[in-house]
């Protein structure tokens, strides 16, 4: 009996010891981000990882409108960065946010081409007969597409261009259409045009922001991440100097700053 007791106490002692050792489990974070943030967000996540090397952070880029619908349907996102602040505001009103909506930037739209010098173009030039397909994001669910439509309508050329427009599912796909030759020129996010790969391929023309509604952007911590400390830490990091510097580098206008004309 004494021998049996001796063997039984070993696992018991091990369990007691494990119970006293703190468990430092790595955190998990899934971010849904508007496609215009692709290059800026990748750099911000890399900077954040310097102080969170063991945490798992996944970023999915896509259409703000589609993410909005997916979150309403229960998609497992912890943070949602939208190119149109109206989408996260709607989710907050529905009780799907863990806190207030946080404005993080104002986006800008530009004419961009890798076969023409778009820096010498204006919207009116898009009506020239020698210009072929013109790419914009889908206005139905992509904020950048909606602002592109507004700008083209304000310029009085929307109807003239209907047979030449090709629409991307999001602003990143729109830029890809131009890069691959499926469109000769297009309206994309300044944040994408400033990426080194696109910047060296072609110039851009900054579209007058008076031609469209502001591209005010905002994010939320979703309700599912209410108790996720990593989500709160990343949200706070967006306001830190390092993250702000990255956003400015990619042409985003931060809250309180003045738009460049």
The 10s digit of each residue's pLDDT in 202-254 is 889 999 999 999 999 999 999 999 999 999 999 999 999 999 999 999 999 99
- pLDDT for the residue numbered 4: 42
- pLDDT for the residue numbered 23: 44
13 — pLDDT class (breaks 50, 70, 90): very low
Q: What is the model's pTM? A: 0.85
Q: Is residue 190 located within the same domain as residue 113? A: yes
Q: What is the mean pLDDT of residues 81-108?
A: 97
Q: Is residue 47 located within the same domain as residue 140? A: no
Q: Within 13 Å and on the Cβ side, how many CA atoms surround 37?
A: 30
CATH number of residue 99's parent domain:
3.40.190.10
Domain membership of residue 13 (yes or no) is no
Of 117, 118, 119, 112, the residue nearest 135 (C-alpha): 112
Domain membership of residue 4 (yes or no) is no
Q: Is residue 114 located within the same domain as residue 207? A: yes
Residue keyed to tokens 């072929």: 132
Q: Is residue 148 located within the same domain as residue 99? A: no
Q: Is residue 89 located within the same domain as residue 176? A: no
Rounded Cα gap, residues 177 and 251, in angstroms: 22
Q: Is residue 75 located within the same domain as residue 118? A: no
Q: Is residue 218 located within the same domain as residue 90? A: yes
Domain membership of residue 5 (yes or no) is no
Of 178, 38, 25, 197, the residue nearest 113 (C-alpha): 178
Q: Are 71 and 33 in contact (CB under 8 A)?
A: no
Residue keyed to tokens 């890809």: 176
Domain membership of residue 92 (yes or no) is yes
Q: How many domains does the chain have?
A: 2
Q: Is residue 157 located within the same domain as residue 207? A: yes
Q: Is residue 172 located within the same domain as residue 51? A: no
Domain membership of residue 14 (yes or no) is no
Q: Is residue 84 located within the same domain as residue 120? A: no
Q: Is residue 99 located within the same domain as residue 65? A: yes
Domain range for 37 is 28-107+214-249
Q: Is residue 64 located within the same domain as residue 124? A: no
pLDDT greater than 90 at residue 5: no
């Amino acid at each position: 009996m004494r021998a049996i007791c001796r063997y039984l106490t070993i696992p018991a002692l091990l369990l007691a010891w494990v119970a006293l050792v703190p468990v430092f489990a790595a955190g998990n974070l899934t971010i849904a981000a508007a496609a215009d943030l692709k290059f800026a967000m990748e750099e911000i996540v890399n900077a954040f990882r310097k102080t969170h090397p063991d945490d798992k952070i996944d970023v999915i880029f896509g259409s703000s409108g589609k993410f909005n619908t997916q979150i309403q349907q229960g998609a497992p996102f912890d943070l949602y960065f939208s190119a149109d602040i109206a989408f996260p505001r709607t989710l907050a009103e529905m009780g799907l946010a863990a806190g207030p909506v946080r404005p993080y930037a104002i986006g800008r739209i530009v004419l961009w081409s890798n076969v023409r010098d778009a820096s010498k173009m204006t919207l009116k030039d898009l009506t020239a007969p020698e210009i072929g397909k013109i790419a914009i994001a889908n206005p139905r669910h992509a904020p950048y597409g909606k602002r592109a439509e507004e700008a083209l309508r304000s310029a009085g050329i929307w109807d003239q261009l209907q047979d030449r427009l090709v629409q991307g599912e999001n602003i990143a796909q729109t830029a890809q259409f131009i890069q691959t030759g499926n469109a000769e020129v297009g309206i994309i996010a300044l944040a994408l045009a400033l990426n080194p790969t696109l910047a060296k391929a072609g110039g851009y023309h900054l579209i007058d922001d008076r031609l469209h509604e502001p591209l005010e952007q905002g994010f939320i911590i979703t309700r599912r991440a209410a108790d996720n400390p990593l989500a709160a830490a990343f949200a706070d990091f967006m306001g830190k100097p390092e993250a702000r510097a990255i956003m400015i580098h990619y042409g985003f206008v931060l809250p309180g700053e003045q738009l460049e004309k």
